[in-house]
Amino acid sequence: MNPVATSTVAWFEWDVTAAAIFRQRTTPQSIGSGNTAVVLSATLTNLLPGIGYHYRVVASNSLGLVSSRDVFFRGMTIALAGANPLNAACGEFVDPGALPNALPTRVVGGSQYCIAQKADGSLVGWGRNHSGVLNCPVLANVVGLSSASLHNLAVLANGSVAAWGDSAYGKTTVPALASGCVAVAAGGDFSIALRSDGRVVGWGDNTWGQRQVPAAAQSGVVAISAGAWHSLALKTNGTVVAWGAGTTIGAYHEYGQSIVPPEATNVVAVAAGAQNSMVLRADGSVLVWGQSCCGITTVPPEATNIVGIALAVNSTYCLALRTDGKLIGWGDSSFGQTGTPAEATNVVAIAAGGLHTIVTRADGSIFGWGDSSFGQLPPPADLASNTLPVSSSSTMPPSMSGTYEITYSVTGADGANATTNRVVQVTNLPPSSPLTLRVDSTNNTLRLVFTNSPCVTFTVLGSTNLSIPAGDWPVLGPAVEISPGQYEFSSVFSRPEYYYRVVLPAF
């Protein structure tokens, strides 16, 4: 968030549904009065595992009050291995453990492939591996992804940018100026990044001036998007800056996609396509301009109450997500990519590939339709697999029957966490018989050692007179279970003759 040199407070609002009114909010925080992006964070507690939530950021200062577009997140769940409750004999309990059930945190679509970030932070790709686009590097703390035709970009929490895939035009050679970044956008043969100071940096092909960032996008930018030959930047005041191909109408690649119409105001999200531009306005309406092929610039009337938009870098179709989880598509549908199959319900996130559509549903599952010529569809079945460690804690004593609880917890790479509990019922085994004793004595110390069922309380008696009744023998103390089923009793003696008796609980 950028306070734009005005003292500003900000907070999060969230709810279980996308709505005009969010019933929960965090405590307002001061984000200062600087002129660079400020990270706002807050911890939400008592969230239900596996339940989807919608949130937005709200900022207020003397210039007014603004809110971001609706964003969805879903808490992780933990699946217990083994039974719950679990019965075990004392000394024989083995924790079967638990596994995190965490689907990808983000998915992006390339021209003929997809890239997903798993809950453990690792990246995985599927589809056509042209120019190594699926050879995802091992990166720590990825906070943003972008895919285009032949290359990918990732921005890390430390502000650095990683790039891989086709290196033509230097589009994967990240310049030193691209530091302190908060967002990235992969274009046709170029790349752009947004720095925390609101400045846009570009590199790669500049045939159409698509990476030559204009002065208007050198400050105050909060979001970016890259198309095939042009770029878009969203300013803090809700206006849009466009540059590259399309500054005129008529020539090759010049369809006016970089001529921002006057009605593009109060914008909260931008998307650049092959030869089109798309914006989402604060009132939930959508505006598309540029090439009119396939009806792409004719927004359907049902595209209202929109919370998310997507436009493929090298294709001519649009996607818009409504607050009710319904997806609206229009434009080129040569592979059915703008259709809405029956499975496309409760959608919370969308991505447009070259000729295929990928969505995330409220239950965290990934689903897609459209062109599957290169294996970009369906998504692989193991997207939930991850290496997240699950920690456990319990109050189970080593040798005592009773009912206990084990708590398992896991935290994802994005900070999301989940906990779950298992009830364990521990019962004692009956003691075995006969009891075999081993006696060791050194330096006037007697040591009784024996093996029996675990978790049994044995009492040691002692007497100088073997003939007296057992009930009259003095109690010397309990035998100590030094390991499951292994018992020991030690006693200092100075008598020439002494008798010991180990009493089983059944006596």
| AA letter at 367 | F
pTM of the model: 0.78
CA distance 235 to 182: 14
Q: What's the pLDDT at 20?
A: 56
The DSSP 8-state label assigned to residue 301 in this structure reads: T
* 3-state per-residue secondary structure call for 233-252: EEECCCCEEEEECCCCECCC
Residue 504 has φ and ψ, to the nearest 5°, of -80, 155
Please give the full DSSP string across 310-379, using - where no structure is assigned.
EE-TTS-EEEEEETTS-EEEEE--TTSTT---TT--SEEEEEE-SSEEEEEETTS-EEEEE--TTS-SSP
Residue 123 has φ and ψ, to the nearest 5°, of -105, 140
Tokens of 62: 């003397």
List, in order, residues 6 or more apart from 277 with CB less than 8 Å away: 227, 230, 232, 240, 242, 246, 257, 258, 260, 270, 271, 288, 289, 290, 311
Q: Is domain 103-370 in CATH 2.102.10.10, yes or no?
A: no
Residue 13 has φ and ψ, to the nearest 5°, of -125, 140
CA distance 169 to 223: 24
Q: What's the pLDDT at 399?
A: 57
CA distance 105 to 335: 27
* 3-state per-residue secondary structure call for 135-153: CCCCCCCEEEEEECCCEEE
Name the residue ranges covered by the structural domains of the chain: 9-68, 77-100+388-427, 103-370, 437-503
Q: Which strand (E) or helix (H) includes residue 480?
A: strand 480-483
| AA letter at 150 | L
> What is the biggest distance separating any 2 CA atoms in the chain, rounded to whole angstroms?
118
Two domains, one topology: 77-100+388-427 and 103-370:
no
Q: What's the pLDDT at 507?
A: 44
Cβ-count burial of 291 within 10 angstroms (0-12 exposed, 13-18 middle, 19+ buried)? buried
How big is the CA angle at 374 (ends 372 and 378), to the nearest 5 degrees?
Answer: 45
The DSSP 8-state label assigned to residue 474 in this structure reads: P
Q: How many helices (H) and strands (E) does the chain have?
A: 0, 40
Q: Kindly report the number of other CB atoms within 10 A of residue 156's CB atom.
A: 16
Q: What's the pLDDT at 398?
A: 53
Tokens of 423: 């009830």
> Among 148, 160, 215, 131, which residue's Cα sits nearest to residue 185?
148
* Tens digit of pLDDT at every position of the chain (507 positions): 778 788 999 999 888 765 556 888 999 999 999 877 788 888 887 777 777 788 889 999 998 888 877 777 777 788 899 999 998 887 778 889 998 877 788 899 999 999 999 988 899 999 999 999 999 999 989 999 999 999 999 999 999 999 999 999 999 999 999 999 999 999 999 999 999 999 999 999 999 999 999 999 999 999 999 999 999 999 989 999 999 999 999 877 899 999 999 999 999 999 999 999 999 998 999 999 999 989 999 999 999 999 889 998 888 999 999 988 899 999 999 999 999 898 888 888 899 999 999 998 888 889 999 999 999 999 998 887 778 889 988 876 655 678 889 999 998 887 778 889 999 988 877 777 656 666 666 677 778 888 888 878 888 888 888 889 888 898 988 988 888 788 888 887 766 678 888 887 644
Architecture field, domain 77-100+388-427: Sandwich (2.60)
CA distance 212 to 231: 9
List, in order, residues 6 or more apart from 126 with CB less than 8 Å away: 113, 114, 134, 375, 376, 379, 380
Contact 458, 502 (CB under 8 A): yes
Three-state secondary-structure class, residue 412: coil
> Among 387, 381, 388, 385, which residue's Cα sits nearest to residue 366?
381
- Do the strands 86-89 and 417-427 form a parallel or antiparallel pair, or are they unpaired? parallel
List, in order, residues 6 or more apart from 58 with CB less than 8 Å away: 10, 11, 12, 13, 25, 65, 66, 67, 68
Tokens of 206: 């500049």
CA distance 248 to 454: 85
Cis peptide bond upstream of 378, omega within 30: yes
Beta bridge partners of 13: 25, 56
